[in-house]
């Protein structure tokens, strides 16, 4: 019997992990855009705490895998010695602003597709096309020029990685691994204190569980790509959950199936949509939804385009940088996360001033 290709094995595992991700996000209403909306308009921090709980759990799980020598976080795109601060700031801000125009981030777009939202199908297609244009197409040259002009080469300073651990070790002249759990403990511990100091969050049930499961799935993703996908001769890229670049890759994969190879991001994307669809059917919440008018469609198209460009510049989205990137303790991920939050809040205020608040609250409603 012929052995199954490693890419297929990884694809199946990633699809199953995505299935859990999509089902969890749908059932618990895990939404990073909704978290910012709750914070800005209702002063409700529960879903923000769920997001940060996921980040803390992802940090602890990822660093545990690294310590056990199952993966090497220095091999991820987030921890390279090239610190793309300009892309993180510009891209993060663009992505944050764009997701408010599009009614949700990359994760929520996939979850809504599974729930029957046709607007999210359009957002996904536009986001994926513009993401691919920024990676390898028309906008790619501008991205490369920005990176070459603004990126900081830490290797020239004899620093191997932009990880907070490596930077601190270089500053105080210490061994990197001796500081790993000090840094991880401070960052993850601070996030956990913020989360669990709230009695309301401690008793929030599904919201808390959603953050915990989503956070655990990030190290599961690293394990799938870094352990299951490991090959002595042709190891697969070390990756976990992110939703902007994989949107473009998924569209290309669907168009060139016979000559394409599935990867973690493509398979996880399909899994998330399927998992959300199953939960939507099970809870009888599946509902077809389309654009209300031309302005609604234009806003979503513009938002999807901005998300595609910004997500690639920032190397990720609210999950790709805000949870997965943060799990590597990369400085660039911190910059991107802060920029995404800034862009998101800016976008929410822009919509509010444009007298779109009633529609916005309906979009991000818990009900």
CB-based contacts of 165, cutoff 8 Å, min separation 6: 176, 179, 180, 183, 184, 329
- 70 band by pLDDT with thresholds 50, 70 and 90: very high
Q: Is residue 200 part of a domain?
A: yes
Task: For tokens 């536009």, name the residue.
Answer: 126
Q: Is residue 32 part of a domain?
A: yes
Contact of 200 with 57, CB cutoff 8 Å: no
Greatest extent of the chain over all pairs of C-alpha atoms, in Å: 64
Q: What is the pLDDT of residue 142?
A: 93
- 259 band by pLDDT with thresholds 50, 70 and 90: confident
Q: Is residue 220 part of a domain?
A: yes
Q: Token pair of 357, please? A: 């608040």
Nearest Cα residue to 268 out of 241, 302, 307, 300: 241
pLDDT at position 320 over 50? yes
Helix, strand or coil, per DSSP, at residue 84: coil
Q: Is residue 54 part of a domain?
A: yes
Overall average pLDDT of the 307-329 stretch: 97
Overall average pLDDT of the 196-211 stretch: 95
Q: Is residue 145 part of a domain?
A: yes
pLDDT at position 176 over 80? yes
Q: What is the pLDDT of residue 3?
A: 76
Contact of 348 with 40, CB cutoff 8 Å: yes
Contact of 96 with 347, CB cutoff 8 Å: yes
Rounded (5°) CA angle 14-139-96:
60
pLDDT at position 5 over 90? no
> What's the gap between Cα 98 and its chain centre?
14
Contact of 340 with 322, CB cutoff 8 Å: yes
Q: Is residue 142 part of a domain?
A: yes
Domain extent, residue 42, equals 6-363
Q: Is residue 1 part of a domain?
A: no
- Number of Cα atoms under 13 Å in the Cβ half of residue 61: 23
pLDDT at position 367 over 50? no
Domain count for the chain, please give it: 1
pLDDT at position 63 over 70? yes
Is the pTM of the predicted complex or chain greater than 0.75? yes
Q: Is residue 161 part of a domain?
A: yes
d(CA 228, CA 243): 21
Q: What is the pLDDT of residue 243?
A: 95
Crossing angle between the packed helical segments 245-255 and 294-313, to the nearest 10 degrees: 100
Overall average pLDDT of the 317-321 stretch: 96
Contact of 235 with 253, CB cutoff 8 Å: no
């Amino acid at each position: 019997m012929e052995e199954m290709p490693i890419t297929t094995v990884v694809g199946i595992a990633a699809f199953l992990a995505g299935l859990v991700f999509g089902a969890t996000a749908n059932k618990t209403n895990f939404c990073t855009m909704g978290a910012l909306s709750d914070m800005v308009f209702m002063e409700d921090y529960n879903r923000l705490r769920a997001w940060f709980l996921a980040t803390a759990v992802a940090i602890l799980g990822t660093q545990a895998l690294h310590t056990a020598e199952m993966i090497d976080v220095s091999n991820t795109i987030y921890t390279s010695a090239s610190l793309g601060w300009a892309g993180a700031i510009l891209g993060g801000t663009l992505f944050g602003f764009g997701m408010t125009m599009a009614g949700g981030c990359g994760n929520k777009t996939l979850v809504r597709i599974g729930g029957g939202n046709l607007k999210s199908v359009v957002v996904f297609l536009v986001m994926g096309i513009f993401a691919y244009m920024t990676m390898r197409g028309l906008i790619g040259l501008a991205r490369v020029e920005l990176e070459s002009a603004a990126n900081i080469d830490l290797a020239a300073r004899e620093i191997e990685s932009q990880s907070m651990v490596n930077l601190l070790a270089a500053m105080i002249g210490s061994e990197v691994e001796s500081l790993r759990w000090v840094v991880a403990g401070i960052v993850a511990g601070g996030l956990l204190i913020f989360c669990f100091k709230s009695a309301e969050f401690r008793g929030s049930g599904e919201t808390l569980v959603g953050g915990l499961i989503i956070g655990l799935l990030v190290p599961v993703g690293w394990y799938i790509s870094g352990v299951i996908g490991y090959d002595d001769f042709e190891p697969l890229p070390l990756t976990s959950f992110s939703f902007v670049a994989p949107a473009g890759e998924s569209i290309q994969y669907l168009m060139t199936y016979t000559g394409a190879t599935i990867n973690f991001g493509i398979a996880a994307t399909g899994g998330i949509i399927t998992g959300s669809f199953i939960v939507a059917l099970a809870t009888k919440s599946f509902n077809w939804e389309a654009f209300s008018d031309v302005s609604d469609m234009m806003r979503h198209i513009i938002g999807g385009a901005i998300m595609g460009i910004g997500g690639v510049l920032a190397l990720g989205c609210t999950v790709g940088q805000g949870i997965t990137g943060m799990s590597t303790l990369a400085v660039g991920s911190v910059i991107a996360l802060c920029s995404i939050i800034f862009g998101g809040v800016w976008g929410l205020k822009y919509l509010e001033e444009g007298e779109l608040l009633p529609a916005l609250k309906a979009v991000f409603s818990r009900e």
